[in-house]
Amino acid sequence: MKMYAVVEFEGRKCSVVPINWLADEQKYCYWPKGNISSRNFDEIVQSCRKPEASWKKYRLIKIFKITDDFSEANNILKNSIEESTSSGTDMEPLILMDTLVDEKENMRAKKRDYDDVSFSDDKASISSFSDGETTTACIIHTEKIRRDASHVNSLPISSPVLPATPGSSSSSLRASNSDYLLETILRKVELLSQRQEQHTVLLNNILTTNQAANSLTMEKPTDIPNLPITNKQDYRAVEEFLKVEEKFNYMKTRLACIGGSSVRNAVMHMMKFMLSDKIAVKFNWSGRDHKKKAFRDTLMSKAIQEATMSAFSRLGDRSDLNDKNIQSAIQDWLKLAKHRLEQREKKKSRDN
């Protein structure tokens, strides 16, 4: 049977991996070597490919869950990343483990090799000149190239080429340099694309906030309850507050101003704004567990759902804007409340 684990590596990096990649009593995990696209990586994981001899092992910090369902594992991974972003703890948010980790190490090695070879060629080229003035100029130029190279992470797009001595390996050097430059350029383009996507998200958040703020024509009520809710008394006060239509509309507009990178992310931010984890553990979505209250029956739930619809409907057609996704985000946030409390307690224990 194929089994998968949702794991966290050092540096708050996480991924879904086959169970057969875990090693040394599940304290380490094998990782594929080389340049692998996200799609190919998913295929390797889903097929539970056996680790190869060239693969490296990386230390694990935590195993979130082990399951035989690949889709379930990916959902847990996604929820863990989103939850860490809006958890309210001092911990760094989780990020996906980079499938190009070994390729980056190879590129750094190539750069070191290039620097070493180019410096040797520079010295050979300098010795081929007999004119003292020309030699001095070349030495100064060579030192400048080396100083510049030590201050950047990648090679320049074009580098001056000094005359080579007969029998030198300048042709192979130029070929190697060209390959490295091409890889560097492609990586830069990929980085620019990612930054553009981030800027789009930020601009959408600004647009949502501004539109919500422009519609806030009412004054802030003087009797607005303490938020986030930390006890039963605050909970009752918020529910009574929301029974008044004008106050409900104010709270809905206030929540719409919070925003988020997605519908799910925005809902989790709204939940964090309304509820502390101490109170959140007393709720679940449907109230089937008799020890917990049904959050779907509260006016807070209604305000959050209407605020989400109001905020994201202004941004045009969105496939993720529906009741099911909103309710799923609320449900998942409530489920993870206990985990967030435990993590906070562990951090306090470590600090003490």
- The DSSP line for 190-234 is HHHHHHHHHHHHHHHHHHHHHHHHHT--SPPPTTPPPSSB-SHHH
Mean pLDDT estimate for the chain: 75
Q: Is 122 or 7 the better-scoring residue by pLDDT?
A: 7
SS3 299: helix
Q: Is residue 127 scored above 80 in pLDDT?
A: no
- pLDDT, tens digit, for every residue of 264-282? 989 999 999 999 999 999 9
pLDDT in tens, 72-96: 888 888 888 777 766 555 455 566 6
Cα end-to-end distance, the chain, whole Å: 44
pLDDT more than 70, % of the chain: 67
Please report the pLDDT score of residue 66 as a whole number: 87
Query: Would you give the DSSP letter of residue 68?
Result: S
Q: Percent of the chain, pLDDT > 90?
A: 30
CB-count burial class (<10 Å; 0-12, 13-18, 19+) for 336: buried
DSSP 314: T
Q: What is the pLDDT of residues 50-74, one digit of tens each?
A: 999 889 999 998 888 888 889 888 8
pLDDT grade for 288, boundaries at 50, 70 and 90: confident
Q: Give the helix/strand (H/E) hosting 171.
A: helix 170-214
Query: Which pLDDT score is estimated for 230?
Result: 94
- 90/312 Cα distance (integer angstroms): 29
**159's tokens:** 């580098």
Phi, psi of 63 (to 5 degrees): -115, 110
Beta-bridge partners for 95 = 13
Residue 3 in contact with residue 22, Cβ under 8 Å? no
C-alpha neighbours within 13 Å on the C-beta side of residue 343: 17
Report the alpha-carbon angle 297-299-300, nearest 5.
105
Cα–Cα dist 330/86, whole Å = 13
pLDDT value, residue 124: 39
Given the structure tokens 């709270």, which residue do they identify? 251
Q: What is the pLDDT of residues 131-179, one digit of tens each?
A: 444 333 333 333 443 444 444 334 333 333 334 444 445 555 556 667 7
Q: What is the pLDDT of residues 190-238, one digit of tens each?
A: 778 777 776 766 666 666 556 555 554 557 888 999 999 999 999 999 9
> Strand ranges (DSSP E) for the chain?
4-9, 13-18, 22-23, 28-31, 56-67, 95-96, 283-284, 293-294
Examine the pLDDT at 332 and tell me if it is beyond 50.
Answer: yes
